[in-house]
Amino acid sequence: MPQPAFIEIKNLSVGYTSRSGKSILVLRDVNLSITRGDSIGLVGESGSGKSTLALAAMGYFKRGLHVISGQIHFDGIDMLNIERNALQRLRGGRLALIPQNSGQSLTPNLRIGQQITEALRLHSNIPATDFHAGVIDLLSQVRLPDPVGLTDRYPHELSGGQQQRVAIAMALASNPEALLLDEPTTGLDVTTQAHIMELLRDLAKDRNLAMLYVSHDLGAIARVCNKVMVLYAGETVLTGSANQVLLSPLHPYAHGLLSSIPRLNEASLPQALDGRPPMPSETITGCAFAD
């Protein structure tokens, strides 16, 4: 029997209103369903709507954006009609976000231990006397060496990979049921990226998380995710298992994305996609890529 959707987005269209009063669509009639234990990779070029969709799953929209139509549910909760305080409790609680450029998301003048303690204070039920032990446990879970020593260090004293692990530890402080990741390995060296991806894959499995992973990196998606959704110009062009989408893509845009990946054993340059994505202000009928 299939599991019920934990995060479900139905027929979601998001846009903004131009100065002339016209609605400009950023997402067009998007559907997404994530169950517990699913790790879904969201791929597409810059401007395709990946981050907008991931933030929409949290009921968050950047200034100027608004929902034109559709529904967003988290474990049966209507995220578009939830009371504001209840929504704030969900974010950072049952639903956690790990952003890109984690070093910028950490407070520079607070020690690592203080920052994770604050996350525990706000989003966990453990008593204050157990905060220090909780911090050490979280740093150990994300496989950081010398977790006791790290608690007294500032973010600038850590490498990029260590900062990212701290950001993951802070997200785990609330014992979340769903994890949204927006380009979590951007700017990290290849070896560190591999370690972070291994950690994320293991965490999703061990904690039975519903995970949405936004990335340009198809290799990262292949290592972490069991399902893939491809966005183009704000609409879904392909969704399916990771093996199906990455090994035998049925849509020409997904095939073009895979063909554009550089390969060490090929002397020729990767093949670029012809044309350009439609402008958000353009009226689109049918598949955006076909135009």
**Distance from chain centroid for Cα 141:** 20
Q: 213 with 82, same domain?
A: yes
Interval 20-57: pLDDT, tens: 777 888 999 999 999 999 999 999 888 889 999 999 99
Pairing mode, strands 227-232 and 39-43: parallel
Tell me the residue range of the domain where 115 lies: 102-175
- Gap between the Cα atoms of 19 and 23, Å rounded: 10
Q: 114 with 188, same domain?
A: no
Contact yes or no for 214/51 (Cβ under 8 A): yes
Interval 243-281: pLDDT, tens: 988 888 888 888 777 777 766 676 666 677 776 777 766
Contact yes or no for 214/206 (Cβ under 8 A): no
The CATH number covering residue 45 comes to 3.40.50.300
Interval 222-245: pLDDT, tens: 889 999 999 988 899 989 999 988
Is the torsion defined by CA of 162, 186, 61, 50 positive or negative?
negative
What residues have CB less than 8 Å from 43, skipping those under 6 apart? 50, 215, 216, 218, 221, 228, 229, 230, 231, 257
pTM: 0.87
Number of domains in the chain: 2
Q: 222 with 270, same domain?
A: yes
